[in-house]
């Protein structure tokens, strides 16, 4: 049993032991606490509890939960304990027949354990309160006179859910349970405390576990302990499950701090385990299943010995006839996979299972780190077999690999909860249900839905008359002025809201003198009803999809939920008629109607939410509008010895409105959302925008044609992680230059190490793919014909390793003349690792060294105002990877000096040559990668020092010489192109 289950059962059992105690002859506790009474009795909730219990019984069944045991553990057990009925020889047909009878288990047991505990709790509570149905909601009482430590308190949430506050000595439990559309909605929090009053997130860390269940949708379990925390998530819609455990001592990562993640997707038949340390995936195991069990397991760091391992279930492969299994210990040298001829395709230990329900037989293959996993290895062709399955391919395996922190956070983040943030404890606490959190903090008062009193009918009649007039006129303007009055002007604010029923439009502007301005718009866009929000000045809007369709019914539903136009008694508690057109109204801020929270939350007095409001409603006699003068009870501010009350005026007027479309404005941008599903519009190519970026992935949708694309980021020193994904979520590249061969929808995914605003523009290169020439892997010469107004681009093939490309363009091929010099060069896109984007070929004798990063598509072309044919001589330089002797190069002519490359294993090169007649030479060179640390000295062939070539001209008399080049900073790489020029004799 794992730690999570131990804690859940421990907390629940301790609590339920108290709940199940004897309750005979008990009496309600005297009401001596400060809890407000409501007049509502818990007997009125009893029928709801019975309904919830019945639904739980249906969900749980008989309580006999069959737990899913991952094949990661099943395989180990089965290997150690073979069936008593074992054979030495198993034929292929025999193994396939048994394999095809097996179906992998599903994942229900992961959350049903928690539901069983819930079922037991609700059933026990219902039994205990059977004699206490006259107790008031909101009042704490003892359900068991023999257990003075056990107390209950019942509450009602705004949506009518039952909240149970249960305490048993040092254990505290909060339950919130209800039904929505006949589906169970349940949350619970368990925690242990040492004092009656604990700080939620103060000096004492809150240690708890939390369970949320939304029937048919999802379950979430959070466990927050002293030195670790975890989250388990089950999507009941997508049939997937994952758990993230954060710990200061990861078992698999040799005691390091980080995350352990397990994941199972029943739709994709995929199981993943991984350890993440310092934002790096240090170890991962991928179990790939078919409908009949495990197909193969791939381990990225097998037994932590820096090796890869692939263990493949070969039963369905062709090319073998039988396997031989040794049941006797110590004779495994004959175990293996065989042909009928007796030839062994594989000798060695087999992971083998054969019983009444399942067959499994795998061979393991070990690879060095960095060695590519090929189709031949995955399909077992490397062992003489052939496993023909779409998942036994390198392309499939690469598509499921999770290699960096962006992939991790993207795959294992749920809505409204980022487990990987630096403020994880606060993030987890904020995720708790608001009513549970309020109960924990002691601020959850009982909710009583009382009918308003007073002159209700006449007031409601006036409100309805205005609503009818609005439905006829179709447009409405609402204006607000609020604050502490004219004396204290820096507390005042203003708001204006415009609504059009026909246009399904709402536009809101608010301004608080100390809090700045706030804009909010609701409007149709591409068939959806969207909301756009902007805080303070700027051109960046946050967008959300309010409704998937922009129907009039949905817009009316939005107005009903956010205004009192169609629900005139919302928030009203008491009405007194003053005249036919004037009423005094008491209640809360809800009766002010349109999005009061949006208007006032931006002011310095957002505490209005918990305050009572008194207002005077004054109606126009023709029902064309009304005004509300209101005062907020309890919000005061002392200024100059005088106490000022928070007050305001709101007017509703039926008049034509002016609409504003922020999307249509040229310089306005919609911020990038954190989910593909929340994208509002496709970003146009070649149009830049400013966006707010933070520590979570944000998505930009792109509609791309075939071609080469560049991503321009405004801040080059900005620290970010970038991906281009296809429509299925496969990563195409992590680089800012990429090639698209299949037109369609793609996504730019970007996240930052901190919050900032940056400019992003995706631009298509003017190069036509028909004019792109792919450089071969083998060294050689490539002929390029230049045409007028056509840019020929050369693409360097992508490699999974960093490498050096050496390019030489013979200037004689160009009939090069000095007039070509200013614009004659080579451009690179993207720039290489050391920032090279342009090389003036006239300064390098046409020679270039480029350091190319792994997995990046590089392009280059020659820039010259000519129409001609030129030749590219190229070679990928093999970098020395071990200590070498001094490299020696022999030249027939010093004027034909080649380029030279240095790294940590080759730091000295000698170039030998012969001079036949006295000549004066000028020596210079072009450097690549390194800007210092090179020495170049001239010696006679017997080792006699002649001179340092960096000083002045050199006069060479006939004889044999060598130049010794030394990289004095061997930790760096370097390349140079030396130039020797004969100087004229006087």
Query: Which residue did the predictor score with more confidence, 855 or 51?
Result: 51
Closest CA to 937 of 926, 946, 924, 925: 946
Confidence of residue 938 (pLDDT cuts 50, 70, 90): very high
Task: Evaluate whether 385 touches 317 at the Cβ level (below 8 Å).
Answer: yes
Q: Is the pLDDT of residue 767 over 50?
A: yes
Residue 83 is assigned to a structural domain of this protein: no
**Summary mean pLDDT of the chain:** 78
The answer on 634 and 578 residing in a single domain is yes
Task: Let me know whether 710 and 644 are in one domain.
Answer: no
Whether residue 7 is predicted with pLDDT greater than 60 in this model: the reply is: no
Range of weakest confidence among 66-80, 170-184, 242-256, 268-282: 66-80
Alpha carbon distance 139, 29 (integer Å): 10
Q: Which DSSP category does 903 fall into? A: B
**Are residues 393 and 526 both part of a single domain?**
no
The residue among 202, 197, 48 whose CA lies nearest residue 122 is: 48
Q: Which of 602, 623, 654 is the last residue of a domain?
A: 654
- The CA distances from residue 620 to 79, 210, 482, 565, 626, in Å, are 85, 53, 22, 16, 6
Between CA 830 and CA 860 the distance in angstroms is 9
pLDDT band for 68, please (50, 70, 90 cuts): very low
493/889: higher pLDDT? 889
Please report which helix (H) or strand (E) contains residue 208, including its range: strand 208-214
Of residues 935 and 790, more confidently modeled: 935
Residue ranges of alpha helices (H) inside 379-455 are: 394-400, 405-411, 424-431, 434-441
With CA atoms as reference, report the closest residue to 911 among 937, 884, 885.
Answer: 937
User: Of 177, 173, 174, 196, nearest to 186 (Cα)?
Assistant: 177
b/e per residue, 731-755, with b = 16+ CB within 10 A? bbbbbbbbbbeeeeebbbbbbbeee
Residues 616 and 513 in one domain: yes
Would you say residue 574 has pLDDT above 90?
A: yes
Query: Residue-wise over 265-296: b if at least 16 C-beta within 10 A, else e?
Result: bbeebbbbbbbbbeeebbbbbbbbbbebbbbb
Cα dihedral 604/607/613/616 (nearest 10): 20
**CB-based contact 269:291 (threshold 8 Å):** yes
pLDDT, greater one: 666 or 434:
434
Q: Report the share of the chain in percent with pLDDT over 70.
A: 77
Distance (Å) of CA 275 to CA 243, 249, 296: 12, 11, 20
Q: With cut-offs at 50, 70 and 90, classify the pLDDT of residue 14.
A: very low
pLDDT value at residue 930: 58
- CA atoms in the 13 A half-sphere facing the CB of 269: 15
Q: Which of 844, 878, 912 is the last residue of a domain?
A: 878
Q: What's the pLDDT tens digit per position in 122-171? A: 888 888 887 788 888 888 888 877 788 888 888 888 778 889 888 887 78
Q: Could you tell me the pLDDT band of residue 31, with boundaries at 50, 70 and 90? A: very low
Provide the domain count of the chain.
6
Average pLDDT over residues 205-216: 86
What length does the chain have?
Answer: 986
Task: Give the residue, 174 or 192, on which the prediction is more confident.
Answer: 174
Residue 70 counted as domain residue:
no
CB 218 within 8 A of CB 235: yes
Band of residue 890 on the pLDDT scale cut at 50, 70, 90: very high
Q: Which domain holds residue 312?
A: 280-403
Residue 302 CA to residue 308 CA, distance in Å, equals 6
Does the pLDDT of residue 586 top 60, yes or no? yes
Q: Is 66 exposed, middle or buried, given 0-12, 13-18 or 19+ CB atoms closer than 10 A? A: exposed
Same domain, 874 and 892: no
Confidence category of residue 882, pLDDT binned at 50, 70, 90? low
CA distance 314 to 330: 24
Q: Are 272 and 411 in contact (CB under 8 A)?
A: no
SS (HEC) of 636-649: EEEECCEEEEEEEE
Residues in Cβ contact with 749 at an 8 Å cutoff, skipping those fewer than 6 apart = 406, 410, 697, 698, 699, 700, 722, 723, 724, 725
If asked whether residues 781 and 844 sit together in one domain, one would say yes
- Span 785-791, mean pLDDT? 58
Please compute the mean of the pLDDT values over residues 28-54 and round it to a whole number: 64
The residue with tokens 């209101």 is 630
Please state the rounded mean pLDDT for residues 274-292.
88
Name the band, by pLDDT with cuts 50, 70 and 90, for residue 121. confident
Best mean pLDDT range from 53-67, 195-209, 525-539, 906-920: 906-920
Sequence-separated (6 or more) residues with CB below 8 Å from residue 61: none
Question: Where among 374, 403, 432 does a domain terminate?
Answer: 403
Q: How far apart are CA 774 and CA 794, in angstroms?
A: 6
Q: How confident is the model at residue 666 (pLDDT cuts 50, 70, 90)?
A: low
In this model, does residue 511 exceed pLDDT 80? no
Segment 319-335 mean pLDDT: 71
Pairing state of beta strands 772-774 and 793-796? parallel
How far apart CA 748 and CA 693 sit, in angstroms, is: 13
Res 131: pLDDT: 78
Give the strand pairing for 887-890 and 908-915.
parallel
Q: What is the mean pLDDT of residues 265-273?
A: 88
Residue 52 resides in a domain: no
Separation between Cα atoms, residue 53 and residue 47, nearest integer Å: 10
Considering the domain boundaries, does residue 600 fall inside one?
yes
Mean pLDDT of the 682-702 span: 85
Check pLDDT > 70 for residue 194: no
> Which pLDDT value is given to residue 5?
31
Mean pLDDT confidence for 462-483: 92
pLDDT at 821 over 60: no
Residue 802 placed within a domain: yes
Average pLDDT over residues 311-340: 81
Distance (Å, whole) CA 271 – CA 90: 28
Does position 826 have pLDDT exceeding 80, yes or no?
no
- Tell whether 823 and 894 lie within a shared domain: no
As a whole number of angstroms, the distance between CA 141 and CA 28 comes to 6
The larger pLDDT score, comparing residue 150 to residue 85, is at 150
Better-predicted residue by pLDDT, 6 or 307: 307
How far CA 861 is from CA of 153, 707, 810, 839, in Å, comes to 77, 16, 15, 11
pLDDT value for 225: 83
Question: Is the domain of 935 the same as that of 872?
Answer: no
pLDDT above 80: residue 667: no
d(CA 222, CA 220): 7
Whether omega for the bond prior to residue 830 falls within 30 degrees of 0, making it cis, is yes
Q: Which residues pair with 693 in a beta bridge?
A: 756
Cα 196 to its chain centre, rounded Å, is 39
Which burial class, exposed, middle or buried, applies to 580 when counting CB atoms under 10 A from its CB (0-12, 13-18, 19+)?
exposed
- Res 166: pLDDT: 87
* In a shared domain, residues 641 and 510: yes
- Same structural domain for residues 779 and 680? no
- φ/ψ (deg, to 5) at 211: -130, 130
Measured between alpha carbons, how far is 40 from 135 in angstroms, rounded to an integer?
Answer: 8
Compare 832 and 893 and report the one with higher pLDDT.
893
> Which CATH number belongs to the domain containing residue 705 in this structure?
2.60.120.380
* Residue 721 near residue 698, CB atoms below 8 Å: no
CATH code where residue 788 lies: 2.60.120
**Does residue 743 surpass a pLDDT of 70?**
yes
* pTM exceeds 0.75: no
232 and 113, same domain (yes or no): yes
Q: How confident is the model at residue 12 (pLDDT cuts 50, 70, 90)?
A: very low
* pLDDT higher than threshold 90 for residue 654: yes
- The answer, yes or no, to whether residue 940 has pLDDT greater than 80, is yes
Q: What is the mean predicted confidence (pLDDT) over 224-251?
A: 83
Q: Are residues 892 and 874 in the same domain?
A: no
Whole-number pLDDT of residue 30: 37
Q: What is the 3-state secondary structure (H, E, C) of 126-158?
A: HHHHHHCCCCECCCCECCCCCCCCEEEEEEECC
Position 474 in a domain? no
pLDDT of residue 490: 52
pLDDT reading at 576 higher than 60:
yes
Segment 798-820 mean pLDDT: 71
- For residue 670, is pLDDT > 90? no
**Confidence bin at 110 (pLDDT 50/70/90):** low
Is residue 83's pLDDT more than 50?
Answer: no
Please report whether residue 155 resides in a domain: yes
For residue 81, tell me if it sits in a domain.
Answer: no
pLDDT at position 943 over 80: yes
Report residue 253's pLDDT band, with 50, 70 and 90 as the boundaries. very low
User: What angle do helix axes 109-128 and 3-19 make, rounded to 10 degrees?
Assistant: 10
pLDDT band at 104, cuts 50/70/90?
A: low
Tens of pLDDT along 370-415? Answer: 888 899 999 999 999 999 999 999 989 988 998 887 778 778 888 7
Q: What angle do CA 911, 914, 918 make, to 5 degrees?
A: 125
Return the higher-pLDDT residue of 440 and 352: 352
């Amino acid at each position: 049993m794992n730690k999570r289950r131990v804690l859940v059962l421990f907390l629940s059992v301790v609590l339920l032991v108290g709940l199940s105690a004897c309750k005979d002859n008990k009496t309600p506790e005297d009401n001596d606490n400060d809890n407000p009474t409501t007049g509502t009795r818990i007997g009125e909730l009893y029928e709801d509890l019975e309904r919830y219990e019945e639904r739980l019984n249906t969900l749980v069944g008989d309580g006999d939960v069959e737990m899913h045991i991952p094949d990661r553990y099943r395989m180990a057990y089965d290997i150690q304990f073979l069936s008593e009925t074992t054979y030495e020889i198993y034929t292929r047909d025999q193994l396939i027949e048994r394999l095809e009878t097996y179906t992998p288990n599903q994942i229900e047991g992961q959350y049903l354990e928690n539901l069983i505990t819930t079922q037991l709790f609700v059933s026990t509570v219902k039994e205990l309160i059977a004699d206490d149905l006259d107790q008031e909601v909101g009042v704490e009482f003892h359900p068991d006179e023999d257990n003075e430590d056990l107390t209950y308190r019942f509450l009602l949430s705004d949506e009518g859910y039952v909240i149970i506050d249960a305490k048993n000595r040092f254990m505290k439990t909060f339950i919130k349970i209800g039904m929505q559309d006949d589906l169970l909605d349940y949350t619970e929090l368990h925690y242990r405390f040492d004092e009656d009053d604990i700080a939620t997130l103060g000096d004492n860390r809150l240690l708890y576990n939390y369970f949320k269940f939304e029937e048919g949708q999802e379950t979430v379990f959070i466990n927050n302990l002293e030195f670790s925390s975890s989250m388990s998530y089950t999507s009941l819609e997508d049939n997937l499950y994952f758990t993230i455990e954060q710990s200061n001592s990861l078992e698999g990562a040799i005691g390091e701090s980080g995350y352990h993640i397990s994941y199972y997707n029943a739709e994709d038949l995929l199981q993943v385990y991984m350890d993440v340390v310092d934002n790096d995936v240090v170890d991962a195991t991928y179990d790939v299943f078919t409908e009949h069990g495990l197909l193969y397991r791939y381990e990225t760091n097998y037994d932590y010995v820096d090796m890869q391992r692939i263990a493949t279930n070969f039963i369905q492969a062709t090319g073998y006839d039988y396997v031989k299994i040794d049941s006797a210990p110590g004779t495994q040298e004959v175990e293996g996979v065989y042909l009928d001829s007796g030839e062994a395709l594989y000798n060695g230990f087999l992971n083998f299972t054969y019983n009444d329900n399942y067959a499994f037989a795998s061979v393991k293959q070990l690879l060095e780190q960095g060695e590519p996993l090929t189709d031949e290895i995955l399909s077992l062709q490397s062992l003489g077999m052939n496993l023909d399955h779409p998942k036994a391919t390198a392309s499939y395996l690469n598509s499921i690999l999770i290699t960096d922190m962006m992939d991790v956070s993207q795959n294992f983040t749920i809505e409204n909860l980022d487990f990987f943030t630096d403020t994880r404890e606060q993030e987890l606490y904020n995720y708790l249900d608001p009513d549970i959190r309020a109960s924990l903090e002691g601020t959850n008062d009982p909710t009583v839905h009382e009918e308003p009193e007073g002159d209700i009918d006449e007031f409601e009649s006036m409100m309805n008359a205005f609503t009818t007039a609005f439905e006829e006129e179709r447009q409405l303007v609402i204006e607000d002025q609020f604050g502490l009055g004219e004396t204290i002007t820096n507390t005042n604010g203003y708001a204006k809201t415009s609504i059009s029923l026909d246009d399904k439009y709402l536009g809101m502007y608010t301004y608080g003198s100390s809090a700045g301005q706030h804009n909010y718009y609701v409007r149709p866009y591409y068939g959806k009803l969207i909301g756009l929000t902007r805080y303070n000045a700027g051109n960046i809007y946050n967008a959300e999809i309010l409704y998937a369709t922009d129907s009039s019914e949905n817009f009316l539903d939005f107005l009903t939920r956010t205004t009192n136009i169609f629900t005139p008694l919302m928030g009203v508690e008491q009405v007194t008629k003053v005249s036919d057109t004037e009423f005094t109204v008491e209640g809360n801020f809800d009766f002010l109607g349109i999005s009061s929270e949006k208007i006032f939350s931006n002011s310095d007095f957002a505490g209005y939410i918990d305050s009572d409001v008194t207002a005077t409603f004054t109606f126009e006699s023709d029902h064309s509008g009304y005004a509300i003068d209101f005062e907020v009870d309890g919000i005061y501010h002392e200024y100059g010895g005088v106490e000022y009350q928070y007050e305001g005026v709101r007017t509703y007027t039926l008049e034509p409105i002016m609409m504003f479309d922020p999307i249509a404005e040229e310089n306005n941008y919609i911020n990038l959302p954190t989910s593909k599903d929340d994208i509002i519009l496709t970003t146009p190519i070649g149009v830049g925008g400013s966006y707010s970026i933070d520590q979570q992935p944000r998505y930009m949708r792109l509609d791309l044609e075939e071609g080469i694309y560049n991503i321009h980021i405004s801040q080059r020193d900005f620290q970010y992680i970038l991906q281009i994904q296809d429509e299925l979520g496969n990563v195409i590249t992590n680089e800012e230059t990429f090639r698209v061969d299949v037109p369609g929808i793609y996504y730019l995914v970007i996240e930052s190490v901190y919050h900032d605003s940056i400019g992003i523009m995706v631009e298509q290169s003017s190069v036509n793919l028909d004019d792109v020439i792919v450089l071969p892997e083998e060294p050689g010469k490539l002929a390029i014909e230049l045409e007028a107004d056509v840019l020929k681009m050369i693409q360097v093939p992508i490699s999974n390793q960093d490498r050096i490309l050496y390019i030489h363009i013979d200037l004689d091929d160009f009939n090069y003349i000095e007039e070509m010099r200013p614009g004659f060069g080579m451009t690179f896109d993207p720039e290489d690792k050391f920032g090279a984007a342009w090389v003036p070929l006239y300064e390098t004798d046409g020679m270039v060294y480029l350091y190319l990063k792994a997995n990046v598509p590089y392009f280059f072309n020659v820039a010259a105002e000519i129409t001609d044919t030129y030749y590219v001589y190229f070679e990928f330089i093999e970098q020395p990877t071990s200590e070498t002797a001094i490299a020696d190069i022999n030249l027939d002519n010093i004027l034909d000096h080649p380029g030279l490359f240095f790294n940590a294993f080759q730091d000295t090169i000698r170039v030998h040559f012969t001079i036949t007649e006295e000549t004066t030479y000028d020596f210079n060179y072009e450097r690549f990668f390194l800007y210092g640390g090179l020495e170049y000295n001239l010696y006679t062939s017997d080792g006699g020092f002649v001179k340092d070539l960096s000083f002045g001209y050199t006069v060479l008399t006939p004889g044999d010489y060598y130049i010794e080049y030394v990289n004095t900073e061997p930790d760096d790489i370097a390349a140079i192109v030396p130039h020797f020029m004969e100087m004229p004799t006087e």
